[in-house]
Amino acid sequence: MSLLVPSILETTKEGFLATYAKEVKLPGVARIQVDFGDGVFVPNKILDIKEMDLLSPAIHWEAHLMLEAPEDFLDYQICGFKTIIVHYEAYKSPEDLRQALISIKAMGLEPALCLKNETSVAIAAEFSSVVNHFQLMSVKPGFQGSPFLENTYERVKELRSMLPNAIIEVDGGINESNVKQLANAGANLLILGSSITKVPNMQEAFEKIQNELNKS
């Protein structure tokens, strides 16, 4: 069964805390993803890990690192993150990326590999010996509210066919109109951003999407 995962993309600690306070109260939420951006790999700078306090251990926290070639993951571990998502496109070489994934795993954290929409999903197979969790971007990374990229459905199906036991996460532009189709394509984890954070009532929006996902 597919799981909805709220995300937090904020540029200030105050903004983060405000969104955090709402999302941890959403019904049935078990995981939350936090976006980090350095203004290099993505054009906008998003909250820095050094500004964050300890996170609630009741939630499985994912750190989505939209950063240029991250190598040091200790601050994320100390903060309370359980999953660290790095981008294939952020590293100069496949070996540098492989070393980063191995480092994350050696810390007792779950490594995940993110692929931009223009990157072939066939890349995932090259790293399947060190990682079993893959995130497919379904928008241009770094901004909330970007349009959903329709080729994502086929990309999810292709990745599911290639790696039947992988955890497949989809990030960007997910809402009532596409959540069920993504789940049917084979996605395990579905990231919710602006569809719940940029509306008047977060809980109402979340429950509508959850009801759509639950339809038989």
For the four alpha carbons of 48, 12, 55 and 109, in that order, the dihedral sign comes to negative
N- to C-terminal Cα separation, the chain: 12
Mean pLDDT across the stretch 114-118?
A: 97
pLDDT at 100 over 80: yes
pLDDT at 103 over 70: yes
pLDDT at 146 over 90: no
Tell me if residue 14 falls in helix, strand or coil: helix
pLDDT at 34 over 80: yes
Calpha distance 4→192 (Å, rounded):
7
Mean pLDDT across the stretch 43-50?
A: 91
Calpha distance 122→124 (Å, rounded):
5
Calpha distance 213→103 (Å, rounded):
35
Q: What is the pLDDT of residue 141?
A: 77
pLDDT band at 143; cut points 50, 70, 90? low
Domain 3-214, second-level architecture: Alpha-Beta Barrel (3.20)
Amino acid at 146: S
Mean pLDDT across the stretch 122-143?
A: 92
Residues 6+ apart with CB under 8 A from 25: 203
160 Ramachandran zone, left/alpha/beta (phi>0; psi -120 to 50): alpha
**What are the tens digits of pLDDT across the range 201-216?**
999 999 999 999 999 8
Mean pLDDT across the stretch 82-104?
A: 98
Mean pLDDT across the stretch 131-143?
A: 89
pLDDT band at 179; cut points 50, 70, 90? very high
Q: What is the pLDDT of residue 145?
A: 67
Structure-derived torsion over alpha carbons of residues 83, 18, 40, 72, reported in degrees to the nearest 10: -40
Report the b/e string of 76-106 with b at 16+ CB within 10 A: beebbbbbbbbbbbbbeeeeebbebbebbee
Q: What is the pLDDT of residue 61?
A: 98
Mean pLDDT across the stretch 167-191?
A: 98
Mean pLDDT across the stretch 84-105?
A: 98
Q: DSSP H helical segments within the chain, as ranges?
A: 13-23, 74-79, 94-106, 123-126, 152-162, 179-185, 194-197, 202-214
